[in-house]
Structure formats: C-alpha cells, structure tokens
C-alpha cells in the first residue's frame, strides 16, 4: 500500500532502531574549581521516536520560531533566552511578553513525546568524598548510556543501531568524549557487553531541533536538584518525561535513580 502524501513512513525492518537520542549538558565538568551558584554538572539524553520527531516535534518548533522570530535560523539556547543575549537581546517587548513566549515554549516541550534520561553530578560532594580524579562528564555518560540500553530493551529495540547525537564543543573535548563513548559501548559497562550505539556530532550551525530541546531541559534539571522544593514550572513538565520502570513517568514520580540519577547518591537513596 502506498504511503499517503506528506506522511513519513519508516521501513518495516531496518538496521537502525526507531529511536534517536539528542544530548546536551549544563554546567562545567571541571573539578578543580566550583561555581558556587551552580556546583553541578548535568547531562541530559532526550530520546525520541523518529516518526513522532519528524511529524510533530520539528514542525511545532519551526512554527514557534516563525511566529516569534520571523524565520527559523535562530537556535534556541537556554542561556541566551534566559539572559536575553545574542538573537534574544531585543526580542521581548516586556516581562509579560517574555513570560508568554516562554510559556508557549514550555507547552511545546510538554506536548512533545520524548523520554528523558539524565544524570546530575554534585561536584562539591564528589570532590569531598572521592577527590578530583573523576570526570563528571564520563560518570554521567556511563549512567545515561546504561539506562538508555535498559529503555531500548523494554521497547525491543536493542538489536538495532541507535545514534546518539552530541553538539561539538572543541576538537580535544570531542575526541575525549568519543573515546570514552566507544570504550563504554565496547564493553566497559556494568554488563560487560557491546552496546548498540553510535556517536555523531553536530555543530550549532546545523540548528538541530533535538539538540535545542536537550539544551532547554538540562538546566531546569540541575536547578531542581540545587533548589529542591522550590517552584520550577519547567521541571514540573519534565518530571512526567523521565524514564522509569515500564517507560515514561506519566505521573511524574518513581523516576529517581531510574531516569534521573544524582551522583554521588544521597545517603538515604537505595540503588535499584
């Protein structure tokens, strides 16, 4: 049967999985100095079903850009939006206008179906307990990759290749990340098995929708840990997207130590 015009169809069998993963971080992964206002490192994996991503997520964000910016060449970056820098320096006419635009963006994130896997490294606690010898990025990467594999097992997608997309940060940083990524996927994980993932890098100029969404979610996750108990509209939406046993956390609970890992673990937290 021929596909309807305008409808994207994926082949029934493929060497690639139905999932695509976009990754971004928040905070500095260095251990020598700590930012007293943000002493954490956050890594966030946004896992999309490719069909939903193509048919729903990309068009929604493109429409948002056309409505508020007039074109779709501007990348949405949390820092620039929050501090009104770069392309956002003169975008908002008032505080009320900014709040309305941000609420619309939050609603787009809420309506976008994706599974969230994230690790927050408390660098101050890590340095106190284990010194400065650990790389927070690599610690977070290990947790996220292992949790991603568990999720794909639940979806019976572990036999196909899944691409994990990162934004380029610099030649040295990218080379170190790729080496650690391939080391973990080659067997340096808690099962000692090959993980069916491949890494890909994109520049900011690619203007990837998935990478922009990953950028937007990373800091609210970090703030939810730093300021636990405070109101956080963005995180209230994200809580229902975290991976937990059986898929997404539809009720916004039961995801701690599943889709969201805080490292080092709080003393009261029991490993799953």
56-109 pLDDT, tens per residue? 999 999 999 999 999 999 999 999 999 889 888 888 889 999 999 999 999 999
Query: Domain coordinates of the chain in residue numbers?
Result: 16-263
Output the pLDDT for position 257: 76
Residue 16, exposed/middle/buried by CB under 10 A (0-12, 13-18, 19+)? middle
Question: pTM of the full predicted structure?
Answer: 0.89
Output the pLDDT for position 28: 87
The residues, ordered by sequence, that sit 6+ positions from 146 with a Cβ below 8 Å of its Cβ are 189, 190, 191
Longest dimension (CA), the chain: 62
CATH number of 16-263: 3.30.420.10
Output the pLDDT for position 250: 56
Of 159, 141, 209, 222, the residue nearest 238 (C-alpha): 222
Low-confidence ranges of the chain (pLDDT < 70): 1-13, 131-132, 231, 246-254, 267-272
Output the pLDDT for position 1: 43
Output the pLDDT for position 268: 45
User: Measured between alpha carbons, how far is 235 from 222 in angstroms, rounded to an integer?
Assistant: 9
């Amino acid at each position: 049967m021929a596909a309807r015009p305008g409808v994207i169809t994926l082949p029934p069998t493929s060497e690639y999985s139905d999932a695509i993963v976009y990754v971004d971080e928040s905070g500095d992964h260095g251990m020598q100095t700590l930012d007293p206002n943000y002493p954490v490192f956050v890594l966030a994996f946004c896992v999309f079903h490719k069909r939903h991503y193509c048919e729903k997520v990309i068009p929604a964000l493109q429409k948002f850009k056309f409505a508020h910016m007039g074109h779709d060449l501007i990348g949405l970056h949390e820092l620039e939006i929050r501090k009104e820098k770069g392309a956002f320096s003169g975008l908002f006419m008032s505080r009320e206008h900014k709040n309305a635009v941000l609420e619309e963006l939050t609603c787009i994130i809420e309506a976008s179906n994706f599974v969230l896997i994230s690790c927050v490294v408390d660098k101050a606690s890590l340095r106190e307990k284990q010194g400065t010898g650990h790389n927070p990025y690599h610690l977070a990467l290990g947790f996220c990759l292992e949790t991603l594999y568990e999720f794909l097992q639940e979806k019976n997608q572990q036999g196909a290749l899944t691409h994990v997309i990162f934004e380029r940060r610099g030649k040295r940083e990218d080379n170190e990340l790729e080496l650690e990524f391939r080391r973990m996927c080659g067997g340096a994980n808690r099962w000692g098995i090959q993980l069916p993932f491949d890494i890909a890098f994109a520049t900011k100029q690619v203007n990837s929708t998935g990478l922009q969404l990953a950028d937007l979610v990373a800091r609210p996750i970090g703030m939810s840990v730093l300021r636990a108990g405070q109101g956080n509209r963005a995180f209230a939406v994200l809580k229902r997207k975290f991976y937990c046993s059986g898929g997404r956390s539809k009720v916004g609970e039961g995801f701690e130590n599943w889709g969201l890992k805080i490292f080092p673990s709080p003393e009261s937290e029991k490993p799953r």
